[in-house]
Amino acid sequence: MTEPRGPVDSSRVPRFAGPATFARLPRLDEVGRADVAVLGVPFDSGVSYRPGARFGPAAVREASRLLRPYNPGLDVSPFAVAQVADAGDVACNPFDIGEAVETVERAAADLMAPGTRLVVVGGDHTIALPLLRAAARLHGPVALLHFDAHLDTWDTYFGAEYTHGTPFRRAVEEGLLDTEALSHVGTRGPLYGKQDLDDDRRMGFGVVTSADVMRRGVDEVTAALRDRIGDRPLYVSVDIDVLDPAHAPGTGTPEAGGLTSRELLEILRGLAGCRLVGGDVVEVAPAYDHAEITSVAASHVAYDLVSLLALGAAGDPPRERT
C-alpha cells in the first residue's frame, strides 16, 4: 500500500510560504484519490444578515497553515493514517440559490462516490442541505449533530425556502435525517416565538443549549449525545456562531452567551468511535474577524473533523476517550 502523501514539511518550507491548501496538504489532483478531502464552498447568498462567508474557505485555509500533523486530543496523525487532500472550491452561482444548491450536491456526490469522506468549509449554512442529500444517497437517513446558536429549522425567509436558516427543516421534509437521532448543541438567544421550539421538537430534534453545556459539563453532554446517536451514520454540521462572539467575532449572526472554543473541540473529540460520514464548518465571515480569531477556531474544528474521519477510514476500533 502506498504511504499517504502529507503536508509540506514546515522544517523545510516556512509556514508562511508554500501551497495555500488546507493544512498545506496536497491537492486532490496531485494524489488522484483521497480517503478524506477538504472542500471549500464559497457561497453566502442565503444569509439573512451580514454577508461575507463566501470568503470563509480562503480564510480558514490561511489560518490552517499553523496546524501540525499530530493531533494529541485524538491521539492520531491523521495525514499519516489516511490520505487527506484539498479538493479545492465548488464554483457556485452567487445569483441563483437553487442552482447553487444543485451544484454543491453534484460536486459532493461526485467526490463521495469512490468512498472519499468530506469535510466542507463554507460558505453559509444553506450548503448543509445539498451536503446532506449527498450523504443520505450513500448512507440512507443520517443522524445529525448540529452545533449552532440558531435552530435553522425555520420554514421560509421572504418566501424563500432555501436559506441559511432553513436547511434542516428541508432535510427533515426530504427524509434525509434519522429523526430518532437529531441534536442541536449550543443554541441560545431570542426566537421569533415559542412556536419555533415546538416545531423543532415535532421534527425530532433534541436541544442542548449553551447554558446546558455550561451547567452539565462537556463529558456529561457528550455521553448523552453519543447515546442518542448510537451506531447510526453521523453527519456533523458546525456553524461557527455556536461559539461566543469572544471566540468567533467573524460571523454573520453573532449571539451572546456561546460555547468556548475549548468546549466545542472537546465535544467533537468525544465523538471518537462514532460512525462519522461527513461534516462541515460554516458561516466564517473574515471581514468581521479580528486578528483571525474565528478563522483559527474554524481551522481547528475542521482539523478535528478530518482527524475523526481519518480514524474511521483507517479502521480505528470504536472507543471512548477516558
Q: Binding site residues, as ranges?
A: 125, 148, 150, 152, 239, 241
* CA atoms of 76 and 276, how far apart (whole Å): 16
Cell of 108: 459532493
Give which of 73, 218, 235, 224 is closest to 138, Cα–Cα. 235
* Residues of each annotated binding site for Mn(2+): 125, 148, 150, 152, 239, 241
DSSP letter assigned to residue 53: G
Beta bridge partners of 147: 185, 238
d(C-alpha 33, C-alpha 76), whole Å: 21
The number of beta carbons lying within 10 Å of the beta carbon of residue 316 is 17
The secondary structure of 249-266 as a DSSP string is: -SSSS--SS-B-HHHHHH
In contact, 256 and 213? CB cutoff 8 Å: no
Name the 3-class secondary structure at 112: helix
Alpha-carbon gap, residue 175 to 171, rounded angstroms: 6
* Alpha helices in the chain, H assignment, sequence order: 28-31, 56-63, 78-81, 97-112, 128-139, 167-173, 194-202, 210-216, 218-229, 261-269, 293-313
CA distance linking residue 145 with residue 229, whole number of Å: 8
3-state secondary structure of 41: strand
Q: In angstroms, rounded to a whole number, what is the distance separating the alpha carbons of residues 61 and 11?
A: 19
Q: Please, what is the end-to-end C-alpha distance for the chain in angstroms?
A: 32
Residue (of 127, 123, 136) closest to 177 by Cα position: 136
Task: Output phi, psi for 132, to 5 deg.
Answer: -70, -35
The C-alpha atoms of residue 203 and residue 60 are separated, in whole angstroms, by: 32
